[in-house]
Chains A and B, each alone.
Chain A
Amino acid sequence: MSTRLAQGGRLIDRSRQVSFTFDGKTFRGHPGDTLASALLAGGQVVMGRSFKYHRPRGAVAYGVEEPNALVNLGEEGRFEPDTRATTQEIFDGLVAESQNRWPSLDWDIGAVNSLFARFLPAGFYYKMFIHPRAAWKHLFEPFIRRSAGLGRAPRARDADRYEHFYAHVDVVIAGGGVAGLAAALAAGRSGKRVLLVEQSGHWGGRAVVDGARIDGKEAADWVADAVAALDAMPNVTLRTRAMAAGVYDHGYVLVHERLTDHLADKSGLRQRLWRVRAGRIINAAGALERPLSFAGNDVPGVMLASAMRDYLVNHAISPGDRTVIVTNNDDAYRTALALHEAGLIVPAVLDARPVADGELPERARAAGIRVETGRAVVRVKGRSHVTGVEVGLHVGEGSVLEEIACDAVAMSGGWSPVVHLWSHCGGKLNWDEAQAHFRPDPERPPLGADGTGFVRCVGASNGHLRTGDGIADAVAGAAWATGADAGKAPAGEDADEGALMPVWLMPQGAGVKLRAKMWLDYQNDVKVSDVQLAAREGYESVEHTKRYTTLGMATDQGKLSNINGLAVLSGALNAAIPQVGTTTFRPPYVPYTLGAIAGSAARETFMPLRKTQMDSWHVEQGAEFEPVGLWRRPYSYPRLGETVKDSVAREILNTRKNVGILDASTLGKIIVKGPDAGRFVDMMYTNMMSNLAVGRCRYGLMCNEQGFLVDDGVVARLSEDTWLCHTTSGGADNVHAQMEEWLQTEWWDWQVYTANVTEQWGQIGVVGPNARKVLEKLGGMDVSKETLPFMHWAEGELAGFPVRIFRISFSGELSYEIAVPAGQARGLWDAILAAGAEFGMQPYGTEALHVMRAEKGFIMIGDETDGTVIPQDLGLNWAISKKKDDFIGKRGQQREHMVDPLRWKLVGLETEDGSVLPEGAYAVAPGDNANGQRNVQGRVTSTYHSPTLGRGIAMGLVERGPDRMGEMLEFGAGADPVRAKIVDPVFYDKAGEKQDG
Chain B
Amino acid sequence: MAEATTTVTVRDLGAQGMVTLRGDLADETLIKAVRKVTGLTVPGQRGFRRGKSGAVAWMSPDELLLLVPEDKAGSAVADLDRALDGQHHLAVDVSDARAMFAVEGPFAREVLAKCSPADLHPDSLPEGEIRRTRLGQVAAAFWCEGDGIWRVIVFRSVAGYAQALLERSARDGAVGAF
Contact = CB atoms under 8 A, between A and B. Distances in A.
Interface of A: 161, 163-168, 193, 237, 268-269, 272, 275, 277, 600-601, 604-605, 607-613, 630-631, 671, 673-675, 751, 753-755, 757-761, 821-824
Given A609-B160, A609-B161, A753-B22, A166 B120 contact: yes
B5 interface: no
A674 B90 contact: yes
A601 B121 contact: no
B94 to A, nearest CB: 5
B137 interface: yes
Contacts of A237: 176-177
Interface in B105-127: 110, 113-121, 124
B168 interface: yes
Interface centre among B62, B88, B96, B168 (most CB of A within 10 A): B96
Contacts of B117: 166, 275
A161 B161 CA distance: 17
A163 B169 contact: yes
B114 A758 contact: no
26 contacts: A163-B169, A165-B114, A165-B175, A165-B177, A166-B114, A166-B117, A166-B119, A166-B120, A167-B113, A600-B168, A604-B168, A605-B161, A607-B161, A610-B155, A610-B157, A611-B157, A671-B90, A751-B88, A753-B62, A753-B90, A755-B22, A757-B97, A759-B157, A821-B95, A822-B97, A823-B95
Task: List 4 A-B pairs, minimum CB-CB distance, nearest first.
Answer: A753-B90, A610-B157, A759-B97, A168-B119
A600 B115 contact: yes
B77 to A, nearest CB: 12
Interface in B145-167: 155-158, 160-162, 164-165
A675 B155 contact: no
A754 B114 CA distance: 32
Given A671-B92, A757-B92, A605 B168 contact: yes
Nearest to B161: A608
Given A674-B88, A755-B20, A823 B165 contact: no
Given A605-B168, A760-B94, 8 more contacts: A161-B172, A600-B136, A600-B168, A608-B158, A608-B161, A609-B160, A757-B97, A759-B155
B88 A604 contact: no
Contact of B173 (A268, A607, A609): A268
Contacts of B168: 161, 600, 604-605
A824 B96 CA distance: 9
A569 B62 CA distance: 63
A632 to B, nearest CB: 10
Contacts of B176: 237
Contacts of A674: 88, 90
Nearest to A607: B137
Contacts of B173: 268-269
B93 A760 contact: yes
A276 B118 CA distance: 11
Nearest to B116: A166
Contacts of B172: 161, 163, 268-269
A755 B113 contact: no
A586 B137 CA distance: 27
Contacts of B110: 165
A324 B138 CA distance: 61
A309 B160 CA distance: 55
B113 A165 contact: yes
A609 B157 CA distance: 8
Given A605-B161, A822-B156, A758 B137 contact: no
Contacts of A673: 90
A753 B30 CA distance: 15
Most buried by B among A164, A166, A823: A166
B78 interface: no
A605 B114 contact: no
B160 A675 contact: no
A802 to B, nearest CB: 9
A757 B95 CA distance: 10
B152 to A, nearest CB: 14
Contacts of B116: 166
Contacts of B92: 671, 755, 757, 760
B72 interface: no
B50 interface: no
Given A161-B172, A166-B116, A757-B94, A608 B136 contact: yes
Contact of A759 (B62, B88, B93, B96): B96
Nearest to A270: B172
Nearest to B90: A753
A785 B37 CA distance: 41
Interface in B87-104: 88-90, 92-98
B15 interface: yes
B30 to A, nearest CB: 13
Contacts of A630: 158
B133 to A, nearest CB: 10
Given A168-B121, A600-B169, A823 B96 contact: yes
A943 B174 CA distance: 54
A268 B173 CA distance: 9
Contacts of A165: 110, 113-114, 175, 177
B136 A753 contact: no
Interface string B80-92: 0000000011101
A608 B96 contact: no
Contacts of A608: 136-138, 158, 161-162
Point out which of B93, B155, B157 has the most chain A C-beta atoms below 10 A from its C-beta: B157
Contacts of A755: 20, 22, 90, 92, 94
A193 B90 CA distance: 42
B115 to A, nearest CB: 7
Contacts of B98: 759
Nearest to A237: B177
A634 B165 CA distance: 25
Contacts of B136: 600-601, 605, 608
Contacts of A759: 96-98, 155-157
Contacts of B94: 755, 757, 760
Nearest to A823: B96
B88 A631 contact: no
Contact of A605 (B20, B89, B96, B165): B165
B96 A164 contact: no
A432 B102 CA distance: 58
Contacts of A275: 117
A732 to B, nearest CB: 11
A671 B91 CA distance: 10
A461 B119 CA distance: 30
Given A611-B160, A612-B157, A753-B22, A761 B89 contact: no
Contacts of A760: 92-97
Contacts of B15: 823
Nearest to B160: A611
Contacts of B157: 610-612, 631, 759
A600 B114 contact: yes
Contacts of B155: 610, 759
Given A168-B119, A237-B177, A610-B158, A753 B114 contact: no
Nearest to B20: A755
Contacts of A675: 88
Nearest to B120: A166
B129 to A, nearest CB: 14
A166 B136 CA distance: 11
B63 to A, nearest CB: 8
Given A268-B173, A759-B156, A761-B96, A605 B164 contact: yes
B96 A600 contact: no
A757 B157 CA distance: 12
Contacts of A167: 113, 177
Contacts of B20: 755
Contacts of B114: 163-166, 600
A168 B172 CA distance: 21
Nearest to B121: A168
